[in-house]
Amino acid sequence: MRKQIDDNRMVRINKYLAMCGVASRRSADELVAAGRIMVNGKIAVEAGLKIDPSTDEIIVDGRMLALPEQKKVYILFNKPKNVITTNSDEKNRDTVLDHISVKERVYPVGRLDRKTTGVLLLTNDGNLANKLMHPSSNVKKEYIALLDNRFPHTLLLQLTGGMRLRDTGEKVMPCQAKILDDGLQVWLSIHEGKNHQVRRMFETLGFEVRRLDRVAYAGLKAGDLRRGDWRYLSRREVQQLNQQAGIRI
């Protein structure tokens, strides 16, 4: 069952921004008016908007926020199919937070589309999240794609060499790939995170991705974690993530 909103947790967006040290309440209203605040993926348009700091995702000028006094939490989630990678959904669909029970407000680092399964990192460490998602971090993401037809070795170079996507003409960076088993499955390792990138790469070459599973993110793997389950990261895993992001701790 989806959790009911607790009115006692709701605060005005300008108060929340002031609590995070972003701006005074008056300046926060100006940020909203300028369209620089996003709440759960949508631009905030009302200065008096109330948000729930424990669940809502707040982004200012492209940077996610977390209350400074919160304990930092790092979670690895094995996302099932048809789970939305947002903190809330206006259509009342199943979201990642419906599967994770922690008192801290956490949010996904990057996104997996509704149909894609696999490894997803969630945290309230906004600094780490922003650095991991920045292109300069070159975070490796590994996928296994199940295709509608066998993938030939003759197309591997085209897949990995830095192709142009057919739908937009946008160029993607070179990547790594390996054909598995009978050729219907392909392992792919990329360093970018363009919208639906893996699916669009295969579509450019004339293949439909029937199932897509992210098997690793920044070196994190699901391991024995069953689909729909989650766990806290170990201290060593957190240290490795910070190293990848270029953060000294």
pLDDT tens digits, one per residue of 192-207: 988 999 999 999 999 9
pTM recorded for the entire structure: 0.75
Pairing relation of β-strands 185-190 and 11-12? unpaired
> CATH: 3.30.70.1560, 1.10.287.70, 3.30.70.1020, 3.90.1010.10. Which one for 140-217?
3.30.70.1560
Proportion of the chain in helix, strand, coil states, percent, rounded to 5: 25, 25, 50
Q: Give residue limits of the domains in the chain.
A: 7-63, 74-136+219-245, 140-217
CA distance 77 to 58: 21
- Could you name the CATH architecture of 7-63? Roll (3.10)
Q: Are the C-beta atoms of residues 6 and 51 closer than 8 Å to each other?
A: no
2 confidence band (pLDDT: 50, 70, 90): very low
Fold agreement (74-136+219-245, 140-217) = yes
Query: Is it true that domain 74-136+219-245 has CATH number 3.30.70.890?
Result: no
Pick the range with the lowest mean pLDDT from 36-40, 72-76, 163-167: 36-40
Pick the range with the lowest mean pLDDT from 4-8, 14-18, 214-218: 4-8
Report DSSP state, residue 154.
G
Alpha helices in 42-114, H assignment, sequence order: none
End-to-end Cα separation, the chain, in angstroms = 39
- Point out the residues that are catalytic: 113
5 confidence band (pLDDT: 50, 70, 90): very low
CA 236 from chain center: how many Å?
Answer: 21
pLDDT of residue 236: 95
Look at 221 and 24; give whichever has higher pLDDT. Answer: 221
- Measured from the Cβ of residue 125, the count of other Cβ atoms closer than 10 Å reads 22
